[in-house]
Amino acid sequence: MQDKTTEIFRNAPVPKAVITNVIPSIISMIMVLVYNLADTFFIGQTKNAYMVAAVSVATPAFLLFMAVGMLFGIGGTSLISRMLGQGEEERAKRISSFCFWTGAVVGVISMILIFIYARKICWRIGASKDTIDYATQYLQIVAFAIPFLIVSNSFSNIIRSEGRAKTAMTGMIIGNLINVILDPVMILGLGWNVAGAAIATVIGNVFSTVFYLCHLLSRRTMLSVSPRYYQAGNGILTGVFAIGIPASLNSVLMSISNIIINSEMNKFGDMAVAGLGVAMKVNMIVVMLLIGIGTGIQPLLGYCFGAGNRKRYMAVLRFSCMLAFITSLIMTVICYCGAGPLVRLMLKEPAAFEYGMAFSRIYILSGPILGQLFVFINAIQSTGAALPSLILSISRQGLLYLPILRFFNRHFNTARMLAAAQPVTDYLATLLAVILFFVVCSKYFPKNLRSEEF
């Protein structure tokens, strides 16, 4: 097993090493994107914009638990890849077992709480009297997916840390493909509407989790979910949480910021909320591809850092930045020009379409720099630099976004300017990420570390 990891992470030419890890990660993100678009598309075919708005309102609450999966997934990946770089396979097994069992327990507790308090939660996060019943129904059903969501999101990342990018991709594809296939059957064919979308989500996450478990229980892996390897002490909990909490905080704050902007947008009507939800989906076409590049290179960077190979680390980073920039430009042009047809697929109501079209073109303005943002975020996380990761995570959707959103709301108070807060924030966050990376390089990865040829 170690030979495979060494060949990809340590010995393969940099372009090949990056592409080998990035392509499966991008395909995984594309499947997540297809799943997100499919839910909205098929619900949109009911020609009930209130259902679209309801799912837009309920989704941020569900995404909070994707953030828990990210906590264990990104934190575990960063620590495991560094341990493998140092040759500590036994410790890698203990880390993966810790991530599995702790994530599963958190998921079960969360499932129970969300099911009980779903209606109150939906009121708090921006549901109106016209959308509350749909939103509550959706959230109560998807609550059953939470334990599986946390485990599948965790191990879609962690499995990449051992050089199994294709296996991680396959699990993601299986779950999302099942979801996409079931969506039209349950939403339109059986007429279950938002309940059908929620049930498809549950089933898809169950299948992903089962696939990853089959891999983790096989002899093909260096990792383990065996309870006998479970250990929280000896620096494992703190090592996972040091990077996992900042990574998950970004998702938590993203969900909170979505809840806040949905609440603010609600004063412009349910059609504005529906348009915003669809615009976010369109923007995800660019975002998911670029996240795929960032997350794809993190295990590779983490291995190089753990091995003390600064020269290879920087070569991987340079190539990844170039790849991300080219991809950013191409996808920005495609999504800006194609915003109209994409929005029309999901929104038929004229007022909602007008909002969706305007918001989509505003959101995509940050496309050209998003690739660099996600590359530098993952580069910082790969070093285990907890404080810079924390600063960046609470800045993009918190310390930067929320004050900008508040300022735009107070001084402009228009739906379009509320949407413009996001691209403005993204440019500032990218600048901050670059600055923090150079701080990390000088402090956590000094130049006197050995430098190997590649």
Domain ranges of the chain: 2-444
Q: pTM for this structure?
A: 0.73
Q: Which pair of tokens denotes residue 402?
A: 């929320």
Write out pLDDT tens, residues 397-425. Answer: 778 888 998 898 888 888 888 889 999 99
> Crossing angle of helices 270-307/350-363, nearest 10°?
30
Residue 447 banded pLDDT, cuts 50, 70, 90: low
State residue 451's pLDDT score.
41
- pLDDT tens column, 282-315: 888 888 888 888 888 888 888 888 878 888 888 9
pLDDT given at position 452: 41
Choice between 105 and 195, residue whose per-residue pLDDT is larger: 105
* pLDDT on residue 280: 83
Higher-pLDDT residue of 134, 444 = 134
Q: Average of pLDDT values for 40-56?
A: 78
